[in-house]
């Protein structure tokens, strides 16, 4: 670990239009859609904080000011709550220390790789994390660490570049970035190759990249000259693939659950799953689900 720079910064690509959730996202960023009583962006920021990350970097677009407001001081609200002797604890997670929230605009929607490249000036010459808020990563109910904390712990051990992976049915791999796995040790797997959205018959494995990354700053220089890939976008997966062999590259199999909140069904699944894990909601929500499914008389 000697001489290894710590992971202090995290990039959150939040410039997307959220068209799959229209009309809800016409005036509200999709990252502000709530899972119960916390917006998606809050779950991602909390996960980064748990991992010891200090600076949050939002790559935003037009109409995304609600994301910044959420982590700002709400003076009128806080005064009103104090005057009414209301509990302020719910607002504590929304506070980010001055100087620890930075924003940069992605002016043209050219893909995830381009969004990350837009943050190059703030990232500087440091390794950094990336968290995609659409992918809600929930730690196991036994109180284990969150996904990014698991990755930071692995980084402290092996350094280099890391990605979070999960196994999916092979017929689903064409929707994701997929790794070519090498040797494995526990939750760590050597990454020998990466391909974005391969055909099912050409996929090198069923281990998909699941929205969490720790990358060295050299990826920014790789993205600088990156040509458009799958979908006509600048793909982060392509840039990472070019770094394999030049630096250590590992995958961490996340011990927990992933919910794709970029889809409507995944969003509903995440809402139910989180509700069923909360002591204040689980019994009532289970009863509601059973009634709706006709499982009660």
- Collect all residues with Cβ–Cβ distance below 8 Å to 211 and sequence separation of at least 6: 131, 132, 134, 135, 137, 164, 258
Mean pLDDT value across residues 99-115: 88
Checking if the pLDDT of 241 tops 80, the result is yes
pTM over 0.75: yes
Is the confidence at residue 2, as pLDDT, over 60? no
Segment 150-199, tens digit of pLDDT:
999 999 999 999 999 988 899 888 888 899 999 888 889 999 988 888 89
Candidates 175, 239, 245, 244; CA nearest to 210 is 175
Domains annotated for the chain, with CATH where assigned, are 9-262 (3.90.550.10), 263-297 (no CATH)
| Rg of the Cα atoms in the chain | 20
Q: What is the mean pLDDT of residues 60-66?
A: 88
pLDDT of residue 226: 64
pLDDT in tens, 285-297: 999 999 999 886 5
Backbone angles phi, psi at 162, to 5 degrees: -140, 150
* pLDDT band per the 50, 70, 90 thresholds, residue 3: low
Q: pLDDT by residue (tens digit) across 19-61?
A: 899 999 999 999 999 999 999 999 999 999 999 999 999 999 8
List the single range of 62-66, 87-91, 189-193, 202-206 with lowest mean pLDDT: 87-91
What mean pLDDT is reported for the chain? Answer: 89
Alpha helices in 129-260 (DSSP H): 147-158, 218-224, 236-243
């Amino acid at each position: 670990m000697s001489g290894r720079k710590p992971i202090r910064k995290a990039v959150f690509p939040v410039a997307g239009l959220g068209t799959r959730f229209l009309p809800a996202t016409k005036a509200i960023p999709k990252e502000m859609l709530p899972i119960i009583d916390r917006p998606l962006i809050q779950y991602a920021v909390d996960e980064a904080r748990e991992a010891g990350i200090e600076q949050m970097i939002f790559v935003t677009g037009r109409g995304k000011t609600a994301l910044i407001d959420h982590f700002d001081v709400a003076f009128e609200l806080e005064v009103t709550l104090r005057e009414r002797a209301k509990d302020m604890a719910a607002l504590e997670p929304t506070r980010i220390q001055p100087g620890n929230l930075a924003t940069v605009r992605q002016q043209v929607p050219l893909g995830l790789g381009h969004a990350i490249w837009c943050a190059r000036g703030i990232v500087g010459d440091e390794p950094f994390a990336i968290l995609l808020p659409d992918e809600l990563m929930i730690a196991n109910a036994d109180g284990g660490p969150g996904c990014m904390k698991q990755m930071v712990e692995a980084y402290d051990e092996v350094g280099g570049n890391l990605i979070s992976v999960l196994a999916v049915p092979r017929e689903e791999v064409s929707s994701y970035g997929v790794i070519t796995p090498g040797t494995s040790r526990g939750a760590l797997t050597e990454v020998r190759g990466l391909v974005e959205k391969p055909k099912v018959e050409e996929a090198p494995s069923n281990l998909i990249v699941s929205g969490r990354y720790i990358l060295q700053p050299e990826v920014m220089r790789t993205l600088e000259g990156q040509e458009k890939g799958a979908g006509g976008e600048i793909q982060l997966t392509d840039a990472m693939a070019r770094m394999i062999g030049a630096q250590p590259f590992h995958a961490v199999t996340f011990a927990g659950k992933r919910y794709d909140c970029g889809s409507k069904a995944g969003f509903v699944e995440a809402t139910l799953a989180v509700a069923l894990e909360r002591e204040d909601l689980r019994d009532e929500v289970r009863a509601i689900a059973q009634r709706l499914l006709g499982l009660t008389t």
